[in-house]
Amino acid sequence: MQESPALLPCGDQALVVEFGDAIDSDINRRVHDLAYAIEAAGVRGVYDLVPTYRSLLVYYNPMRTSWPELEDSLRSMLAGTGDRVTSTPRVVLLPTLYGGEHGPDLEFVAVNAGLTIDEVVKLHSGTDYLVYMMGFSPGFPYLGGLAERLATPRLESPRLEIPAGSVGIAESQTGVYPVASPGGWQLIGRTPLRLFDETAEQPALLRAGDYIRFVPLETESRYLEILGEVESGEFEAEMEAVS
């Protein structure tokens, strides 16, 4: 891990704070802690932050601050780790109906792993997955923490459209499609929750630094019940503090 983060220019209106060169949960936590600290402090001139696996892109208005001023502010924040306010991660619970028409590839994943379908569901839903960053499509979470045994090759031929809410596995990653889109992941289930709603004040349900916990649903009727509550605006996603 890179002990002293590097601050690098990115054009004339942004800089990158690099914390390391690997996908690592400790590095990623430092990224999100700095982003939270910048937001909490209201650093002059900063108008957008983009966290990634290992770095933070900081956009600033050069009419309100300069590179030297912003660099000094950020280095002071990075040095003051003892008294800096850090973020409090959330665990977002995603009710998920595994298998059937919503998870047509669940049996293949089980055979590939040498497990029963019930064992796959138990293993997949038994982990809190870190949202390292957001990207690819609106509201799409890049997750870490999939059990090695569940790693499964992508489809040889991608599907032209995967329904929003579909939960899939591709190689060593698991994820959720927030909007309908093409994709080559092995689909094992679907959540009735809406991960991205362009009409909402906060369009994305998830944010980088959160954790996801998949909660198995027992029946199709319960899935449809939650779906109806989501569509009517009556359902509110459950969240827990990280213990």
User: What confidence score (pLDDT) does residue 201 get?
Assistant: 84
CATH top class, domain 90-241: mainly beta
Report the relative pairing of strands 6-9 and 14-18 from DSSP bridges.
antiparallel
Domain edges within the chain: 6-79, 90-241
Q: pLDDT at position 143, please?
A: 92
Handedness of CA 210, 127, 142, 107 (dihedral sign): negative
pLDDT at 38: 93
Nearest to 171 by CA among 112, 130, 215: 112
> What does the pLDDT profile of the chain (243 residues) look like in tens digits?
446 899 999 999 999 999 998 888 889 989 988 998 898 889 999 999 999 989 999 999 999 999 899 999 999 888 875 455 566 779 999 999 999 999 999 999 999 999 999 999 999 999 999 999 888 888 899 898 999 999 999 999 999 999 999 999 999 999 999 999 999 999 999 999 999 998 888 899 998 889 999 999 999 999 999 999 999 999 999 998 876
Residue type, 103: G
The pLDDT assigned to 1 comes to 45
Please give the mean pLDDT across all residues of the chain: 91
> 6-79 and 90-241: same fold?
no
Distance linking the first and last C-alpha atoms of the chain: 25
- Span 6-79: which CATH code? 3.30.1360.40
Nearest Cα neighbor of 188 from 95, 89, 109, 88 is: 109
For residue 155, give both structure tokens: 């489809």
Cβ-based neighbours of 219, under 8 Å, separated by 6 or more: none
Nearest one of 222, 226, 190 to 106, comparing CA atoms: 190
Question: In the prediction, which pLDDT does 231 show?
Answer: 93
Q: Which value, to the nearest 10 degrees, does the dihedral of the CA atoms of residues 206, 210, 211, 214 take? A: -10
> Are 50 and 99 within 8 A, CB to CB?
no
Any idea of the CA torsion for 120, 125, 127, 132, to the nearest 10 degrees? 100
